[in-house]
Amino acid sequence: KNQVEQSPQSLIILEGKNCTLQCNYTVSPFSNLRWYKQDTGRGPVSLTIMTFSENTKSNGRYTATLDADTKQSSLHITASQLSDSASYICVVSDGSQAGTALIFGKGTTLSVSS
Amino acid sequence: NAGVTQTPKFQVLKTGQSMTLQCAQDMNHNSMYWYRQDPGMGLRLIYYSASEGTTDKGEVPNGYNVSRLNKREFSLRLESAAPSQTSVYFCASSEYSPLHFGNGTRLTVT
């Protein structure tokens, strides 16, 4: 069964610190992996998208890595800010054209405190 | 540029009542989706529409119906609401990738 597992479930860090969120998947075939940020009370917003051939992609202070061999991805947040407090969702696509192609993780809730 | 707009933002229903959740996008996307999000669970696909005039079931379609009114609008209908349908509902659209989400409708069924 295609699955996406995220860890940790929740995380609390001090403002200015770095953190890394993990995503493991068993989706096959694999097309791409996306990280979304979801602020409280809002819809998810795309941060990065990576295909099989991409190992690293950055978006400002957010850096995503992908190891397609071990089927693992991480999202590293540098110099965290209060506005980084949100849920981060890992989504893997099996590449089919069907709307069911996207498999969502349950998310990691990040709280940044001052 | 509004993106994906959902109405209403909040709704409380009694068991057995019906309602329609509205969704409209202004990005000229072909594909539109309805998801539900429950605590401790990932987003789950209810229905999707790959293009105007087509709709298909997702992972959790029971108790719901959809209408792709035109390219812009995709509505979700609950014919007889049940407490198990208490959730946050998100509409999304895409043209290849990524998904663009609305800000959700928070539905409570008592």
- A114 CB-near residues (< 8 Å, 6+ apart): A14, A15, A82
Burial class (CB in 10 A: 0-12, 13-18, 19+), B66: buried
SS3 content of chain A, % helix, strand, coil (to 5): 5, 55, 40
pLDDT tens per residue, range A53-110: 899 999 999 999 999 999 999 999 999 999 999 999 999 998 886 777 899 999 999 9
Compute the Cα dihedral for A1, A74, A34, A79 and give only its sign: positive
Residues in A touching B104 (Cβ below 8 Å): 41-43
- What's the gap in Å between the CA of A102 and the closest CA on chain B? 9
Mean pLDDT by groups of 10 residues along chain B of 110 residues: 92 97 96 95 94 94 96 97 98 90 97
Contact (CB, 8 A) for B35 and B94? no
Residue contact A100–B31, C-beta within 8 A: no
Residue type, A58: S
pLDDT, mean of residues A13-39: 96
* Distance of residue A91 Cα from the nearest chain B Cα, in angstroms: 10
- What is the separation, in whole angstroms, between the first and last Cα of chain A? 41
Residue with tokens 């105007």: B52
The confidence score (pLDDT) of residue B29 equals: 95
Interface residue of B89, B99, B103 to substitute, partner A, most A CBs within 10 Å = B99
Residue type, A2: N
Query: Chain A residue with minimal CA distance to B95?
Result: A97
Q: Closest chain A residue to B58 measured between Cα atoms?
A: A100
Residue where the block lists tokens 């789950």:
B44
Are the CB atoms for B97 and B82 separated by under 8 Å?
no
Kindly report the number of other CB atoms within 10 A of residue A2's CB atom.
15
**Three-class SS state of A75:** strand
Contacting residues of A for B59, CB less than 8 Å apart = 100
Do B26 and B6 form a contact (C-beta atoms < 8 A)? Answer: no
- pLDDT attached to residue B97: 74
Q: Which residue does chain B place closest to A35, by CA atoms?
A: B98
Task: Write down the number of H helices and E strands in chain B.
Answer: 0, 11
Chain A residues with CB inside 8 Å of B44's CB? 104
Tokens 């990280």 belong to which residue? A35
**Strand A108-113 to A10-14 pairing:** parallel
Which residues of chain B approach chain A closer than 8 Å at the C-beta? 4, 31, 33, 40-45, 48-50, 56, 58-59, 90, 92, 97-104
In chain B, whose CA is at the least distance from the CA of A104? B42
